[in-house]
Amino acid sequence: MIEVKADALETTFAGVELGGAVARPLLSGARAQNGAFGGFLRSGANVEMKSFTGVSGDSGGYAIPREIDAVIGATLASVSPIRSIANVVQVGSAGYRKLVTAGGTPSGWASEVDARPDTGTPTYFEIAPPMGDLYANPSASQAMLDDALFDVEGWLATEIAREFARAEGAAFVSGSGVGRPKGFLAAPVSSANDGARAFGTLQYLASGAAGDFAASPQDRLIDLVQALRGPYRQNGTWVMNSATLARIRKFKTSDGAFIWTPGLSAGQPATLLGYPVIEAEDMPDIGANALAIAFGDFRSGYLIAERGETGILRDPYSNKPFVNFYASKRIGGCVSNSEAIKLMKFAAN
């Protein structure tokens, strides 16, 4: 009897040597390791024995493999409207800083023999997008995870992407900047033209009537387009919600032509006055003093900074018989060029 137990114990520790490497799945190639990450999601086995400091803390985090992280990124780009048109940068630290100049570098003219005095020093401004941890906490029953036909990796990526897209879509539009990105509608606004406003202040044009469009609303929309400087206008995009868009689609010119032009083929966006339209449901409805319409080059005007890694924790204990998956990602955002975005304010002036 003792001999049998010794053999079983020896078999249990077969292949384990003191100082030997711990067998673990490679996170960048989990699918090649017989679905090792999927095994972790289903049962918590085959874990990556590292803590990812800065991503999920020393409580034990697991970086999502590139296959899943790519799915999340692709879904966010297609669902989160501002992300699809803004400038998105990947950062490797907790914060992000960018220097911009206002007005460019001063210059001067001189003849062939004239002296060249010093020109003025350009004015520099530092942009630091407010950042916060965007998280999702979906759960699944252990019975679902035990079902071999259940695509746990695809389900997790879809759930995280849907929740991240909803939360960040609202933050990029109207986020307060406290523990989250600062939306472009949260920036200070003024009716002053470019060059006369303080740095970081967006210009608005009045609709001409309190809480509504004035007569000849298409003229006001044309004024908003032309208020944007030429280099930004060529990359201009309209941003509004579906209720506002429904109003605008009915506008006609004096000869009866619609100012709205539907896309002529699949995948081609509809245009308003020749510029594409992005529907963002987090934009406010038309109302008194509402900034319900934005037009601009968001690639130049709005900056999104994010950590490239998405952290995930598997928690099978807190909510039995469900298994929670806590995923988090650090994202920031703010206006980077206040001359590249214009707003329409629904007010008389």
Residue predicted with more confidence, 139 or 37: 139
Residue predicted with more confidence, 269 or 214: 214
For residues 129 and 87, give the distance between their C-alpha atoms in angstroms, rounded to a whole number.
Answer: 12
Query: Is the domain 187-303+336-345 a CATH 1.10.8 member?
Result: no
Amino acid at 183: G
Tell me the β-bridge partners of 145. none
For residues 91 and 308, give the distance between their C-alpha atoms in angstroms, rounded to a whole number.
Answer: 7
Residue 293 above 60 pLDDT? yes
Q: What is the pLDDT of residue 225?
A: 96
What's 36's DSSP letter? H
Lowest mean per-residue pLDDT among 28-42, 166-180, 267-281, 282-296: 28-42
If you average pLDDT over residues 275-292, what whole number do you get?
Answer: 94
Q: What is the pLDDT of residue 245?
A: 94
Closest CA to 135 of 92, 179, 177, 95: 179
Amino acid at 308: G
What average pLDDT is seen over the chain?
79
Residue 176 above 80 pLDDT? yes
The model's pLDDT over 204-232, given as tens digits with 9 standing for 90+, comes to 999 999 999 988 899 999 999 999 999 99
What pTM was estimated for this model as a whole? Answer: 0.74
pLDDT-derived band at 43 (thresholds 50, 70, 90) equals: low
Q: What is the pLDDT of residue 299?
A: 95
The model's pLDDT over 109-160, given as tens digits with 9 standing for 90+, comes to 999 889 988 887 777 888 899 999 998 888 888 777 777 566 777 777 787 8
Question: Considering all CA atoms of the chain, what is the largest pairwise distance in Å, rounded to the nearest integer?
Answer: 107
Closest CA to 329 of 76, 44, 86: 76
Give the three-class secondary structure for 166.
Answer: helix
Look up residue 97 and give its two tokens.
């800083």
Q: 202: Cβ–Cβ under 8 A, 6 or more apart, which residues?
A: 184, 187, 188, 189, 190, 335, 338, 341, 342, 343
Residue predicted with more confidence, 265 or 244: 244
Q: Domain residue spans in the chain?
A: 30-94+128-178+306-335, 187-303+336-345
Look up residue 72 and give its two tokens.
């999340």
Q: What is the distance, to the nearest Å, from the Cα of residue 163 to the centroid of all Cα atoms in its chain?
A: 12
Tell me the β-bridge partners of 90. 306
Residue predicted with more confidence, 53 or 90: 90
Q: What is the pLDDT of residue 262?
A: 84
What's 163's DSSP letter? H
Q: What H or E segment, with its residue span, contains residue 319?
A: none
If you average pLDDT over residues 250-265, what whole number do you get?
Answer: 84
Tell me the β-bridge partners of 328. 135, 311
Q: Is the peptide bond before 321 cis (omega within 30 degrees of 0)?
A: yes
Q: What is the pLDDT of residue 6?
A: 47
Q: What is the pLDDT of residue 336?
A: 94
For residues 175 and 163, give the distance between their C-alpha atoms in angstroms, rounded to a whole number.
Answer: 16
If you average pLDDT over residues 158-185, what whole number do you get?
Answer: 91
